[in-house]
Amino acid sequence: MFPQKIEEFVVALGRKTSQGEISWLYDDNNATVQTTTPGINVTLRYSFNEIKEVGEFVLFYRDEADNKEYRFYTSQEWSDYNNARLLFDIAQSSGIRLPF
């Protein structure tokens, strides 16, 4: 489960991506999205937990100032999973080139 602060950050990331302020790189093989916008270093990784049989997200946030990596986890057992899923989908679609 994400802390309140991170949950709000996830929602904000989704909103800013939809507005075109943040762009992402999608790695379909590893089910990962990573920001390509300078100053924001976020990676969201999806996986399926084969033991618990639930989907899960891990959000990595790297703070450039103190050079630390923060790691936050949520799974389908928590309600914020849907926010992470939504951000993942928005990020995926941010770099997509549709034919029309």
Partner 1 sequence: MENKKEIIIMNFLKSHWLRITYSMILIISSYIAYCYSADITSDNIRLNKFSYIGTVATIIALLIAIFEIAQSIHASKSIQKQAKEYLSRAESLDHASFSTECLGNLDEANSYINNENYNTSLKCFQHFRKTFSRFSYVFENIDELNKKIGEIELSLHTATQTTVSAPLTKISRSNIQKDIISIKNILEEIYSKRKDNYVSPKN
Q: Smaller CB distance to partner 1: residue 25 or 64?
A: 25
Q: Smaller CB distance to partner 1: residue 22 or 44?
A: 44
Q: Which stretch binds partner 1 (CB under 8 A): 1-9, 12-20, 48-56, 90-98?
A: 48-56
User: Could you give the CA distance from residue 86 to residue 84 in angstroms, rounded to a whole number?
Assistant: 5
Q: Which stretch binds partner 1 (CB under 8 A): 11-19, 24-32, 34-42, 64-72?
A: 24-32
Residue that is written with structure tokens 């943040």 in the block: 22
SS3 of residue 55 by DSSP: strand
The residue type found at 71 is: R
Among 19, 20, 38, 53, binds partner 1 (CB under 8 A): 53
Buried b (16+ CB within 10 A) or exposed e, 23-49: ebebeeeebbbbbeeeebebbbbbeee
Summarize as ranges the residues that interact with partner 1 (CB under 8 A): 28-31, 46-48, 50, 53-55, 76, 82, 85
